[in-house]
Amino acid sequence: MIPLYDRIQELKAMYPDPRSAVMPALQLAQERHGGWLPEQAFREVADALDLTPAYCLSIASFYDMFRLEPVGEHVIEVCTNISCGLNGAQQVVEAFASELGLGAGETSGDGAWTLRTVECLGGCGWATVVAVNNRHRLHVQAADVPGIVAELRGESA
Amino acid sequence: MSTPEIVFAGSGGGALTQIADYEAVGGFAALAKARAMTPDEVIAELDASNLRGRGGAFFPTGRKWSFVPKPDRIAKPHYLVVNADESEPGTFKDREIMLRVPFRFLEGCLIAAHAIESKHVFVYIRGEYEQEFEVLVAALEQMKARDLLGDVTVVVHRGAGAYICGEETALLESLEGRRGQPRTKPPFPAIAGLYASPTAVNNVESITTATAVIELGGAEYAKLGVENSTGTRVFSLSGNVVNGGNYELPHGFPLRDLIYGVGGGIAGGRTLKAVIPGGSSTPILTAAEVERVTLDFDSLTGAGTAIGSAAVIAIDDRCCMVQLAVRVSQFYEHESCGKCTPCRVGTRWLTSILQKIEDGRGSQADMDLLLSVAERINGKCLCPLGDSDAIAVASYVDKFRDEFQAHIDEGGCPLHGSSSLDHVLAPVAMHTHHHAREVVPL
């Protein structure tokens, strides 16, 4: 695997100002650190871009997709905005909660699952939208939830 | 009725993700045509088409391009920035455009770059659109292999979850590697945008449509649609309809025909209560008003609302309007960037007051307070995010005042236990964009 520092240099070259690479660099660092940004990740990104770790943290703390705490191997994000809400998103959230034994916003003790409710995922006409590890599943109903969980458990096994 | 396809033309309901398939339906003819024209001639075609911005503000695209100074006037690189940060609740058209006709979109980017004499294109795509990002990158690779880019570089830059970055100056801040907070205007992006250089910022659908404008000719394009709202529009239909989805239709299409015809009517045989016509920021329409309006700028403006991002959300009779207001307000509260106090504090107040009314703890004074807070947000910030909350909530009160009043008179929600939005959870465990102090609920 190409070292993170070198990959960030490639990202830097895409922009007139290296600062512009901070978001893609943080995205990459997050992938390399198991889906979240520990303190070390900020030092690595800062070093590669000649910024300070504090500056990098100020960017990460602004955007929802940067995670400042560890997440599970599988991250389940249920959209509960207007159109999904009108089409049973809350029942979908509750089905995941009962299937996984987790509340919204929680990560399981074994590090396998994170369940979150999120703002509009941009799939309103195909409600309810659930992002499973960033891939969107459309038209999800509460009855589909056990199947989705079983499928993901199978992938991990 | 037969409807002309402009944006999705040639896709036959599928996706044109292979360059040969796109060329087989006439792809890149418009680019060749535009490159044989002068930048001013391209802009003149856009002016003739009266294409207006599809992101929500409906600003004429040709005029926007004409505001970018000629390179000899400002000797800095010129930039085209495409806003693909689609995040307005109800809106999901740009993702389908990028998935199904990525080449028509990228062709439009190159045409726009030619018109504003730019060699640098940045596409800022919302972070949640991972698949769309991959489709665009793959399409670009195919275009590079054909040497279609010439001396133009196209960078697809991923956002990371912030509705505010759909606001053009917040987007530019974000693209420069900063927190996505709106800038003071002026200067406008056309003069001092990305890296303080001349910049045009356009929506994905506007850019994709520009390809068709050049292909057809501006005057021909302007024959579609209605006066002041030319051409087709990709309407995002969602909510309690049978067939949610994106539908490309001419401007001027009756709203009731979208819902009851194309959309298959209200799901479960229930009745329509209200419609949000242009994304969550636009004032709501009652079922009776729906019968009278058409989907274009003049008709919707005349009805006191806006065409916005053309995102139509149908709401059936089960929904409690106070719960809807709470949920909409939670969204704006969460998405406030925190820069302007009326928005940062006001959106939180609106949510708290609405929740109090929903819970049956509201008094008559809270109704006055609610509208007073809305008034104190409206027009007092750098960008319209706070206004969107204030205007939407005020419209729910205006159109459904009896229902708000019933919550106060009955000391609780009349629809509790049966409303479609009962107990819907606002996002938890997402960080807010600002770090306001914890506020004790009212």
- pLDDT tens per residue across all 442 residues of chain B: 456 899 999 999 999 999 999 999 999 999 999 999 999 999 999 999 999 999 999 999 999 999 999 999 999 999 999 999 999 999 999 999 999 999 999 999 999 999 999 999 999 999 999 999 999 999 999 999 999 999 999 999 999 999 999 999 999 999 999 999 999 999 999 999 999 999 999 999 999 999 999 999 999 999 999 999 999 999 999 999 999 999 999 999 999 999 999 999 999 999 999 999 999 999 999 999 999 999 999 999 999 999 999 999 999 999 999 999 999 999 999 999 999 999 999 999 999 999 999 999 999 999 999 999 999 999 999 999 999 999 999 999 999 999 999 999 999 999 998 999 998 877 764 555 655 444 555 6
SS3 (DSSP) at A130: strand
Is there a single domain that holds both residue B270 and residue B312? yes
CA B184-B189-B191 angle, to 5 degrees, is 110
Beta bridge partners of A78: A117, A130
SS3 (DSSP) at B114: helix
Q: Is A56 annotated as a binding residue?
A: no
User: If you measure CA to CA, which chain B residue comes closest to A22?
Assistant: B177
SS3 (DSSP) at B24: helix
Task: Supply the angle between the helices B93-100 and B204-216 in degrees, to the nearest 10.
Answer: 50
In the structure encoding, which two tokens stand for residue B232, read together?
């087709």
Beta-carbon separation of A85 and B158 below 8 A: no
DSSP B372-400: HHHHHHTT-SSSSHHHHHHHHHHHHHHHS
B402: left (phi over 0), alpha (psi -120 to 50) or beta: alpha
- Nearest Cα residue to B169 out of B434, B387, B389, B383: B383
Query: Which residues touch A53 (CB under 8 Å, ≥6 apart)?
Result: A39, A42, A43, A45, A46
What's B356's domain CATH number? Answer: 1.20.1440.230
For an interface test with A, the pick among B92, B181, B351 (most A C-beta atoms closer than 10 Å) comes out as B92
Size of interface A-B (CB pairs under 8 A): 176
User: If you measure CA to CA, which chain B residue comes closest to A92?
Assistant: B424
Q: Rounded to whole angstroms, how far apart are CA atoms B283 and A122? A: 20
Q: Does some domain include residue B442?
A: no
Among A62, A84, A107, where does a domain finish? A62
Is there a single domain that holds both residue B310 and residue B350? no
Looking at chain A from residue 106 to 145, which residues have their Cβ under 8 Å from any Cβ of chain B?
106, 116-127, 131, 134-136
Residue carrying structure tokens 């420069």: B176
Query: Which residues touch B44 (CB under 8 Å, ≥6 apart)?
Result: B62, B218
Beta-carbon separation of A134 and B128 below 8 A: yes
CB B348 within 8 A of CB B438: no
Among B286, B316, B346, where does a domain finish? B316
What's A93's domain CATH number? Answer: 3.40.30.10
Q: Does some domain include residue B100?
A: yes
Q: Does some domain include residue B415?
A: yes
Whether A72 contacts chain B with CB within 8 A: no
* pLDDT for B1: 43
Beta bridge partners of B200: B80
* pLDDT for A25: 98
Q: Does some domain include residue A67?
A: no
* pLDDT for B442: 62
Is there a single domain that holds both residue A22 and residue A82? no
B58: left (phi over 0), alpha (psi -120 to 50) or beta: left
Is there a single domain that holds both residue A27 and residue A53? yes
* pLDDT for B206: 98
Which of B88, B161, B328 lies closest to A65 in CB terms?
B161
CA A89-A123-B284 angle, to 5 degrees, is 80
Beta-carbon separation of A15 and B155 below 8 A: yes
Is there a single domain that holds both residue A81 and residue A128? yes
Provide mean pLDDT across the span A110-127: 96
Q: Does some domain include residue B168?
A: yes
Range of the domain at A86: 74-153
Is there a single domain that holds both residue B312 and residue B327? no
Beta-carbon separation of A127 and B429 below 8 A: no
Distance set, CA A63 to CA A122, B96, B122, B281 (Å): 17, 24, 19, 21
Range of the domain at B305: 226-316
- Nearest Cα residue to B211 out of B60, B51, B64: B51
* pLDDT for B436: 47
The pLDDT tens digits of the residues spanning A53-86 come to 999 999 999 999 999 999 999 999 999 999 999 9
* pLDDT for B430: 52
* pLDDT for B2: 53
Check: pTM over 0.80? Answer yes or no.
yes
Contacts of A58 in chain B (CB under 8 A): 179
> How many independent structural domains does chain B possess?
3
Query: Is the interface score ipTM higher than 0.95?
Result: yes
Residue A92, pLDDT above cutoff 70: yes
Beta-carbon separation of A120 and B88 below 8 A: yes
* pLDDT for B4: 80
* pLDDT for A155: 82
What is the total residue count of chain A?
157
Q: Does some domain include residue A126?
A: yes
Q: Does some domain include residue B346?
A: yes
* pLDDT for B425: 79
Is there a single domain that holds both residue B134 and residue B152? yes
Q: Does some domain include residue B64?
A: yes
Is there a single domain that holds both residue B294 and residue B399? no
Is there a single domain that holds both residue A143 and residue A91? yes
Beta bridge partners of B203: B83
Is there a single domain that holds both residue B259 and residue B205? no
* pLDDT for B405: 98
